[in-house]
Structures are given as C-alpha cells and as structure tokens.
Amino acid sequence: MAMRQIGSVVPFPAQAAASAAPSTKPRPISGRPTTDGECRELKAWAESLPPDRERPATKDEIIRHLDFMEATLPSQNADIEKGKAKLVVYVTLLRGFSDDALGYMAVEACKTLKWFPVPAQCLDLARAYRAPVGEKEATLRLCHDFAQNSFERWMDNIVEGQPIGDVPEQWLRIAVERGTLRRLTNGSFVSRVLYHGPVKPLMTLVSA
C-alpha cells in the first residue's frame, strides 16, 4: 500500500488554529502560591488562559504514523487499489487526533497487534491516549491545593478555639455541617468549643 499517495487522494481542510491566542499577561508568580493574594491572582491568570487543547495532527503527520505501522505490521489485504481506498478512510477518521495521540496509537498497535489495524482499532487506541496536564489545568490545581490546605489549617485552628476570622461563606457552612461551628439566631458564627466550653472529664463516682 503506497501510503504517500494518500496525500493526493484525501482532501484536507486548511489547518485551523489549535486554540485561541495565549494570554499576553505574564504569569504573576513562578511557583506555588504562598498567600491568599497570590492564590487569587494566579487563579485569575489561569482562568484567562485558553482551554488546554492539543493541536490536531496534519495530513502529513497522520500519514507518517500510518507508514510507521505499515513498516512493522503486515496487511491482510493484498489488493493495493482497495487498500488505497481504505486508507482514505483512515486519514479521514484520524484527522481530529493530535500528533502525540497518533504516535501512541502507532506504538501500541505495533506492540499488541499482529496485523495492520482496522479503522476501529486505530480509533480505540488513539482514544486511549491521555495527554499531559496543560498549563491552565496545572495552575488551577495549584490554586485548589493551596485553598484546600488553607481551609484545613483554619479548621484545625477553630477546633483549638482560635478566632474565626474573615473567611469565605462556604468555609463557614462546611464548618457548621462538620459540627465545628455553631450558627446563632442573629446569623453570626461561634466555635462550638467556645460556646460549650472545653470538654470536661467524667467524674468517677465513689461510693461511701
């Protein structure tokens, strides 16, 4: 099967831009946030980024991966003309996947299959590829981890009887649900430790 002949057979639309133009605003901090202010600033910056999307493979890239599999896996179809017609289907179906996804597909096919894969097998292998975490998602995860750690430290302080402070409403609701805070009739919150006082040990009754 002459893979390179596919280029003159399959019409390919002009390659669209992979994603919107990246944010021109520089990243506010280089590492993990260490303060609430840094976390808010970094989260706002990450949310301004375009979605993490890999660029779809070009026609030449798709053909390169098909060539790689053809060089390794024998075909069960000796009819070259019929093979060319089938390869049009391969290129058409695979055009939405990234170059990395197709590279994964080709390697896995050579590792696990005895024959050149049918289109359905190619699609299954390409869909099994998991792209690395992009900058947007990775940065938002850093912000989430910082907020979660800050919340847990605040909860520990409340249990110890420390002041509640100015915290998000969601934190207060969770603390009430966990029984750490009590909401009074006037809408304010108070630590249950302070409201009830410290836990008193049980008195041992000694009979006379």
Q: What is the CA radius of gyration of the chain?
A: 30
Per residue in 35-78, pLDDT (tens digit) is 989 998 999 988 888 876 778 999 999 999 999 998 989 887 55
Q: What is the band of 196 on the pLDDT scale with cuts at 50, 70, 90?
A: low
Q: Which residues pair with 189 in a beta bridge?
A: 183
pLDDT tens digits, one per residue of 153-190: 999 998 888 889 889 899 999 999 998 898 888 888 88
pLDDT at 16: 44
The mean of the pLDDT values for the chain is: 80
9 or 161, greater pLDDT: 161
The confidence score (pLDDT) of residue 84 equals 61
Cα–Cα distance between 4 and 9 in angstroms, integer?
10
**Do the beta carbons of residue 189 and residue 164 sit within 8 Å?**
yes
- Reported as a single tens digit per residue, the pLDDT across 65-112 is 999 998 989 887 554 445 566 778 899 999 989 999 999 999 999 999
The helix/strand/coil state of 126 is: helix
Helices then strands, each counted (H, E), the chain: 8, 2
Residue 106 vs residue 197, higher pLDDT = 106
* Confidence (pTM): 0.52
Among 22-36, 38-52, 114-128, 188-202, the range with the most confident prediction by mean pLDDT is 114-128
